[in-house]
Amino acid sequence: VLRELFRRIHYLLNRRKFDAELAEELAFHREMSEKSGGVPVGNALRHREDAREAWGFMWLDRLGQDLRYAFRAMRSSPGFTTAAVLVLSIGIGATVAAFSAFNMTMLHPLPVRDPDSLLRFKRDSTASSSTEVPYPAVVFYAEHTRTLSAVLAQTSASLSLEGRDASVAALFVTTNFFDDLGGMPAQGRLLTQLDARPDAPAVVVLGYPFWASHFGSNPSVVGTAVRLNGKPVTIVGVAAPEFPGLSAEAPAFWAPIERHEYFVHGSEILTDFSGRLNSGVRMFGRLSPGSSPTIAEAELAALAAELRRQHPDDVWEGERLRSEPGADAQLLGATAAFAAVGSLALLILVVACGNLGSLLLARGATRQREIVLRSAIGAGTSRLIRQLFTESLALAMMGCGGGLLLGWIVLKGLMAWSGAPPWLDPTPDWRVVVFAIAIGFLSSVFFGLAPAMHVARQKPQRSTATLTRSILIGAQVASSWMLLIVSGLLVRAFDRAASTDPGFEYEHVVVVEPSLAAHGYKADRARTYIQDLNQRIRGIAGVEDVSVTPTPPLGGLKILSKLAIDGRPLVVYIHKVDPRYLATMKIPLLAGRNLIEGAEDAVIVSASLASRYWPGRDGLDQSIKIGEESLKVIGIAGNARSLAPGDTDAAELYRLARDSDFPDMAVIARTSGPSSGLVSPFTAVANEVDPGFKPRVHLLKDEFDSHVRDIEQSAVAVSLLGLIALAVSCLGVIGLVAYAVAARTKEIGIRLALGAGRIHVLKSLAGQLERTVLGGLVIGVVGAFVLAQLIRRELYGVSTIDPLAYLGAIVLFLFAIGLAGLWPARRALTVDPLVALRDERD
Amino acid sequence: MHKKDMPAGALVLLILRVLRGGPLHGYAIAQRIHTLSEDELRVEEGSLYPALQKILIKGWVTASWGTSETGRKVRFYKISKPGLKQLEAEASDYDRLNKAIQAILQKA
């Protein structure tokens, strides 16, 4: 069989020579048979072609012919070709951009040295699990392991930088971090093992974005000293922008974790084996050559058992370290988000294909003469379909090229706009190219095959033409409408988030987060600290009310509980507060009484929770079960979505914070005037309590604005997609109606001559589209509803049934489509019956 | 009997069979089949040459250029070892099929 293939290829390569031989042979045959008085049968050329068929590869010849023909046809109608390639490029470009983003963030490991041998370790036992490992345990593992050639650790912290109001993000890493991951400096040097020594001068490395934004990319800052958390440290270098680190964070400073207590006053991270004080670190390991994750896990489990003998209280029973790939980007980690973006992009592609399909169908009608001619000189139906489909394929491949280019530009633009990390590379790789070609091929099947089959069949069958056209237009209508509805929903969500009252005061609130746990504070000392801070903040001029809570509004800590209501889960956000909280945040108490110190089983619930949990009753004095505890409702508060501002379904529950919460406590203060000028007095006051560190002070308004901006960005992006889809659909409708008018000029002329009103003519033209558009709209509504569910998982506050969004979308859509249809239809009204009837075209 | 009536595989079988006697050129193959069938079978160029190309590709025959009896350059076909094997297999297949058909024709 293999030899046969070689022979075929040999024939293919020398086919000119073999063809000449064949011709010679056939000529001889004919001579001989004429000599003996025979009559030649059939066409010699045809015989030769039949014989050549035996060599295989005829399809290659035909493909070449078809492609040549296709390009000739394209050249002869440059307008159509340009429009088609452009529409396709938009459709393919959208999907390519979405796939590239997915490919870039999810399918590629972080660009560090040898990402495959890097593992991340998490603690696990039958009873507990934790994503972080206590630092001294990491050191123990690093000293004793033989299956790992290097052990890395990192932990994040926010530090105060002298001369800057807002705190800055720092990543503490082991000093082998840069070396092992192959990081390069942009300026100066990176961290080395020498920087870990307790007697070495304290040094930091700048993150590239921070160096650019805060130091104006000035190379002379290397070697200078700055004060971090009040401690002098020397900047020794700037990390290269291409270095991603092992998390999606882009820290302002990289600092040696071995010197953690120098930077963070009172830190016990280096000595605490328990990990109870939020003091774990992320642990990574580099597999030794010849080792495997399983072997490493087994070895570390044995080491953990050994460590448990030394620290029986701190290491769990049966503790082991579970490994997972260490350099997986998981940047956005959100598959649902990609699914949503991907389906939006696919919708654009469907619109583009539907559009092109109807264009091809219309164009096929004008090429009828050419088709008839080709079939008259011997082309079979299947050969014609193949020819027409090849043309579509050629278009699709050009669209592919355009799409790759457009997708790359769009992605690059989006990345610049959203401030994506510089080490993400949007340049298409082989996966993206293969994806683009596959998408191109699929689209050519979708937009090209049905029209090709219809056109090649020649005898125009009205029913199949109408059906094909209906499907193509219906798909367009449904997809663009879906996009419009979804963008409408997002715009509305943005509108709600930006304009409606979130139910709590955010304009005039300052939040002070001392992160006491990180500074080694235990509950008792923390309590004293917080009470002291509370008193001092009360003394600042302009402060009206102060409250302390471990769950500050819009903060990172969210405690959720799921209540089952009639079998349906209801997510409840649990606020741990003091009795001043509601007054400070200006959340109204609608019924009942406030919390009082000491009454720990009393809770206040939001009106939204009460109305859903006890419909028809007021909820007061009811009991509610959170976990194992049974609590009594003593008051009903107004709805205030302060932990999830976008989640309109959010239900809140307020209960007293405990003494054990003090190390995590934040202080929030409401001021009488604008809070923006108060950051520095707050910082000054906070610094007096413990001069060893500076608490993070920020304005609630800033957090709120950044949250609103997130929704705004998605609303803008999706609206853009929706408008593109609408524009493409309108183009399609213009082309289609123009074609319908042109094709029916004679009929219109006759109707007008027989006395039909111009309105009647218009109606008969519109009637063609009516049912298709309606069908598309119905499918669109259902699709939009499903898609909105998907988006809702990522962006709270998106309602799936917002009548205004649906209504707005339909009005905009019908208006645009109507306008697009009327414009070419005008020509039908200006048809002169005499001219139309004389028209000899058919 | 025309080419359309000849089963597709049968032509290959006949070509291989006449080539077993020694190398022949295309026209001679057609002539041989014609004479041996007592003028019943006429093989046209339109079916002969595609079949010859097919068995060339399959490797059942080899071709070499020589001079015809009339002094013209022409391609001679010679059956190869795989071709002989193929002939044997096809001949016995044909035999079985033929017997089966005969049996039905006589008994039914």
> Across residues A75-83, what is the average pLDDT?
79
Measure B73 CA to nearest chain A CA, in Å: 9
pLDDT of residue A301 exceeding 90, the answer is: yes
Query: In which band, very low, low, confident or very high, does the pLDDT at A458 lie, cut at 50, 70 and 90?
Result: low
- Mutation target for A interface from B27, B69, B77: give the one with most A CBs within 10 A: B27
Name every chain B residue with its beta carbon within 8 A of the beta carbon of A11.
57
Please report the ipTM that was assigned to this predicted complex: 0.79
Helices A381-418 + A58-76 axis angle, to 10: 70
What integer pLDDT is reported at residue B26 of this predicted model? 86
What integer pLDDT is reported at residue A237 of this predicted model? 94
Least confident range of A144-148, A484-488, B51-55: A484-488
| Subunit contact A51:B53, Cβ cutoff 8 A | yes
Q: What angle do CA A437, A442, A447 make, to 5 degrees?
A: 120
**Helix/strand/coil percentages in chain A, nearest 5:** 55, 15, 30
> Across residues A265-283, what is the average pLDDT?
78
Q: Does A6 touch chain B (CB under 8 A)?
A: no
What integer pLDDT is reported at residue A840 of this predicted model? 53
Name every chain B residue with its beta carbon within 8 A of the beta carbon of A8.
57
Q: What is the mean pLDDT for each group of 10 consecutive residues in chain B (108 residues)? A: 58 89 87 85 82 85 83 86 89 89 87
Query: In which band, very low, low, confident or very high, does the pLDDT at A239 lie, cut at 50, 70 and 90?
Result: very high
Q: Does B44 touch chain A (CB under 8 A)?
A: yes
What integer pLDDT is reported at residue A799 of this predicted model? 66
* Range 62-101 of B in CB contact (< 8 A) with A: 68, 70, 72-75
Q: Select the residue of A7, A21, A42 nearest B44 (Cβ to Cβ).
A: A42
Measure A371 CA to nearest chain B CA, in Å: 28
What integer pLDDT is reported at residue A336 of this predicted model? 60
| Subunit contact B75:A25, Cβ cutoff 8 A | yes
| Subunit contact A47:B30, Cβ cutoff 8 A | no
Backbone angles phi and psi of A77, in degrees to 5: -130, 75
Max avg pLDDT among A328-337, A462-471, B79-88: B79-88
- CB under 8 Å to A454, separation ≥6 — which residues? A361, A364, A461, A464, A465, A468
pLDDT of residue A440 exceeding 50, the answer is: yes
Write out the H or E segment, with its range, that includes residue A815: helix A803-829
> Across residues A250-265, what is the average pLDDT?
89
> Across residues A82-101, what is the average pLDDT?
87
What integer pLDDT is reported at residue A562 of this predicted model? 67
What integer pLDDT is reported at residue B4 of this predicted model? 44
Q: How far apart are the first and last CA of chain A?
A: 55
Q: Select the residue of B45, B50, B75 nearest A21 (Cβ to Cβ).
A: B75
> Across residues A537-542, what is the average pLDDT?
87
- Mutation target for A interface from B25, B35, B49: give the one with most A CBs within 10 A: B49
| Subunit contact A41:B75, Cβ cutoff 8 A | no
- The pLDDT tens digits of the residues spanning A750-793 come to 887 887 777 777 777 777 667 777 888 888 888 888 877 777 66
pLDDT of residue A647 exceeding 70, the answer is: no
Q: Which residue of B has its CA nearest to A6?
A: B57
Max avg pLDDT among A198-212, A742-756, B46-60: A198-212
Question: d(Cα A570, Cα A679) in Å, to the nearest integer?
Answer: 38
Query: In which band, very low, low, confident or very high, does the pLDDT at A382 lie, cut at 50, 70 and 90?
Result: confident
What integer pLDDT is reported at residue A383 of this predicted model? 79
The mean predicted confidence, pLDDT, of chain A is 81
A801 burial via Cβ count (<10 Å: 0-12, 13-18, 19+): exposed
| Subunit contact B57:A26, Cβ cutoff 8 A | no
Least confident range of A376-390, A581-595, B12-26: A376-390
Question: d(Cα A509, Cα A543) in Å, to the nearest integer?
Answer: 9
Q: Does B9 touch chain A (CB under 8 A)?
A: no
Q: Select the residue of B46, B51, B74 nearest A25 (Cβ to Cβ).
A: B74
- The pLDDT tens digits of the residues spanning A214-229 come to 899 999 999 999 988 8
Query: In which band, very low, low, confident or very high, does the pLDDT at A140 lie, cut at 50, 70 and 90?
Result: very high
In angstroms, what CA-CA distances link A690 with A259, A659, A699? 20, 20, 22
Query: In which band, very low, low, confident or very high, does the pLDDT at A165 lie, cut at 50, 70 and 90?
Result: low
* Token pair in block for residue B91: 């001949």
pLDDT of residue A523 exceeding 50, the answer is: yes
What integer pLDDT is reported at residue A479 of this predicted model? 81
Query: In which band, very low, low, confident or very high, does the pLDDT at A300 lie, cut at 50, 70 and 90?
Result: very high
What integer pLDDT is reported at residue A795 of this predicted model? 60
Query: In which band, very low, low, confident or very high, does the pLDDT at A499 lie, cut at 50, 70 and 90?
Result: low
Percentage of residues of chain A with pLDDT beyond 90? 19
Q: Does B24 touch chain A (CB under 8 A)?
A: no
Q: Which residue of B has its CA nearest to A39?
A: B44
pLDDT of residue A360 exceeding 70, the answer is: yes
Gyration radius (Cα) of chain A, Å = 36
CB A28 within 8 A of CB B72: yes
Percentage of residues of chain A with pLDDT beyond 70? 88
- Return the amino acid letter for A43: N
What integer pLDDT is reported at residue A1 of this predicted model? 67
Q: Can you say how many angstroms the Cα of residue A449 is from the centroid of all Cα atoms in its chain?
A: 33
